[in-house]
Amino acid sequence: MKPDPLTFVLFGASGDLTSRKILPALARLADLGALPEPFVLVGVARTKWSDDEFRQQCREAAAAAVPEQQQETSLDDSEAPREAAGTSGSSGSWEALVPRFRYVTGDYDSDDTFGELESVLRDLDDESGTSGNRVFYLATIPSLFGEVAAGLGRHSLNKPGTGGSFARLVVEKPFGTDLDSSKALDASLHEVFDERSIYRIDHYMGKETVQNVLALRFANAIFEPIWNRRYVDQVQVTVAESIGVEHRGSFYEGAGALRDIVQNHVMQVLALTLMEPPSTVDPIAIRDEKVKLLRSIVAPDRSAVERDVVRAQYDRGTIDGVAVPAYREEEGVAPRSTTETFVAMRLSVENWRWAGVPVYVRTGKRLAKRTTEVAMLFQRAPHLPFQGQLTSELRPDALILRIQPDEGISLCFGAKVPGQSFRVRTVRMDFSYQEEFGGRPAEAYERLLLDAMLGDPTLFIRTDEVEQAWAILHPVQQAFSDDSLALAHYAAGTWGPASATVLLESSGHHWNNP
């Protein structure tokens, strides 16, 4: 299904996110024949470009893109480093569209900018037949989101043009920096756009494995009956990066791992993994169940934060045989910084399905391996007739959802080792998207951009989801900000500080390290 004709307006058109992610994704959609007909792109930024200079940037960005399966970049797209050139397979489909593209130079707080944009959109509706439909994408720094939305409102661009049926606003994360700022941001956006027209984008939600959680749970009778506290012993979510902060030191100083990863990616993955079955796959039903799950996660009090949360920062170490600096030695980082690059937490979900099941989450930079996965570890068999050395290599049964870089699913269970003795150890049965379906799966931005143009909000974040995620982490943020929770340290190239290991061992559990 193709979207209706529209004009795609890209604020922050000269930025890194635009060149690395958005333009290549749009070019790929063009090559697949998935873009609306007609489709016109309008860039808006402070950089002084002509229409032709912007069009050349569009061509170069598509040609220099590297598929995300080949990348290891920071998970925060708005600040990640530019990758080396490769090929995207961009063809004549994108090239045929580029001559129509337009560009508006101006400040985001200037009415002249929005006045010119209004004029350009009106001309395009007449010349290209875009029918007054608009999608506005905010790829600017977060502090400008409210300002841009207000400018659109002053010039009535929050409403479709003549003959149009929609005007949508796509907002990049982060959605605020804490509970209060997220509420203030939503209030400013809602002054101009209603909630159904706001699409908060988190690229993790566009990954195939994240989406496949729904299929795995609700299309397979062998899994759904055991997806509960009766059979599941613990749930673990790991978002690990082997890279450091790269050139993002000054940005990361004001963010840290809690804001950068836990509040958005981790909470969204948890919600999909643990939510109740929706009555239908309707976007409202799915998002309602995600919110219900988030409301069931207990926000820890101060004593629980001290007991169940670990914050840490990486020191010098070795990654793939190469010595790497400590976080405090990175460019843009304060010599005595207390910003966390690692967070581990034990959470509890107080509902009928998950009561009593600990949920462990961790994220960090400069860890031993780049990986993102959800591990569901099951209860031990109530009785083993073979004991001691015969089962020394037997670990708990587990279902592991591999989100990146090797997207797939693993089922871990016990099997007899060939030989005379009855020795049992854990083995893995793997499903790989690449091997099963072949080709390159659609990248996250391709899927999400197309959904925004189609008006499908299923994989986008609703305002009550954002607010509830911040509410869960609010006490943790307070403890971090007043330094009441000690900052641990870990060597780069390891799986984090010893205190993160102790967090699980105190309950008789162990991290599922890939």
Q: Which residues are catalytic?
A: 265
Per-residue exposure over 389-404, b if at least 16 CB sit within 10 Å of its own CB, e if not = ebbeebebbbbbbbbb
Give the 3-state secondary structure of residue 303.
helix
Separation of alpha carbons 11 and 114, rounded Å:
11
Separation of alpha carbons 483 and 477, rounded Å:
10
Q: Hey, what amino acid is at 7?
A: T
Q: Which long-range contacts (CB under 8 A, 24 or more apart) does 278-287 make?
A: 281/214, 281/458, 283/456, 283/457, 283/458, 286/214, 286/458, 287/457, 287/458, 287/462, 287/465
Q: Which residues pair with 322 in a beta bridge?
A: 319
Q: How do strand 39-45 and strand 359-364 relate by DSSP bridges?
A: unpaired
Per-residue exposure over 344-374, b if at least 16 CB sit within 10 Å of its own CB, e if not = bbbbbbeeebbeebbbbbbbbbbbbebbbbb
Neighbours of 82 (CB within 10 A): 12
Write out the two tokens for 33. Answer: 């024949």
Q: How do strand 134-138 and strand 167-172 relate by DSSP bridges?
A: parallel
What's the DSSP call for residue 258?
I
Write out the two tokens for 64. Answer: 């220099």
The DSSP code sequence of 341-372 is: SEEEEEE-B-STTTTT--EEEEEESSBSS-EE
Length of the chain equals 514
What's the DSSP call for residue 162?
T
Separation of alpha carbons 50 and 39, rounded Å:
20
Separation of alpha carbons 383 and 513, rounded Å:
26
Burial class (CB in 10 A: 0-12, 13-18, 19+), 272: buried
